[in-house]
Structure 1
Amino acid sequence: MKKIRVLVACGAGIATSTIVVKKLEDLFAANQISVEIIQIKIAEAANKQSEADMLISTTMFPTEYSIPAIKGMSFLTGIGVDKTEMEIISAAKEILNK
């Protein structure tokens, strides 16, 4: 089975991305999707996007990306989590079906 590589970014690559990583691990496991999650600083995203299938960030995107880029702030606020989770799983399934 193909493994999806996901970049999880926040401002410093430490605090909020750590919270999101755990939630994403649970989300992908519940949907039986094999995933490798890599924590980064948002400033690293442009250089690392070629190594990944998807980017999820808890901060603003400073640029456009060639991979799906999803705002993950809802994982911290609790507002709109279901919508964000559906967007992530939908993007993952699209990637797997390529």
Structure 2
Amino acid sequence: MRIYKVLSVCGTGIATSTVASEKCREMLEERGISPIEVLECKVSEVLTAAESYRPDVIIHTAEIPTDALRDFKTFRAIQFLTGIGKEALADQIAEYLKSK
């Protein structure tokens, strides 16, 4: 069985990455994407974490060096914190993961 890997990134790797990753996991599971494994990190660790963890997607609530992460699909995930647009974002992520 395939395990979908999500790297969740925020400024400190503690609070908002946890909230975003839990909401992302819940909404992806509702869309038939499961099981999901999540790793959380702070912005300063994202390059190293992405290279070693090799996530299917990276969600982030802070600015990350997307140019340096072009080998990975990234999604700005503020919607998982505010609730505004979260359904559309979850649909986009699910569609991407199903296409892999």
- SS where residue 23 of structure 2 aligns? helix
Deviations 1:34-57 (A, max 9, x none): 210111112211112232221000
- TM alignment of 1:1-98, pairs within 5 A: 1-33=1-33, 34-50=35-51, 51=53, 52-64=55-67, 65=69, 66-95=71-100
**TM-score when scaled to structure 2?**
0.84
Percent identical residues: 31
- In structure 2, the gaps of 5 or more residues are none
- SS where residue 37 of structure 1 aligns? strand
How many angstroms apart in 2 are the aligned matches of 1:24 and 1:40? 15
CA RMSD of aligned residues (A): 1.4
- SS where residue 5 of structure 1 aligns? strand
The amino acid across from 1:73 in the alignment is I
**Paired residues, number:** 95
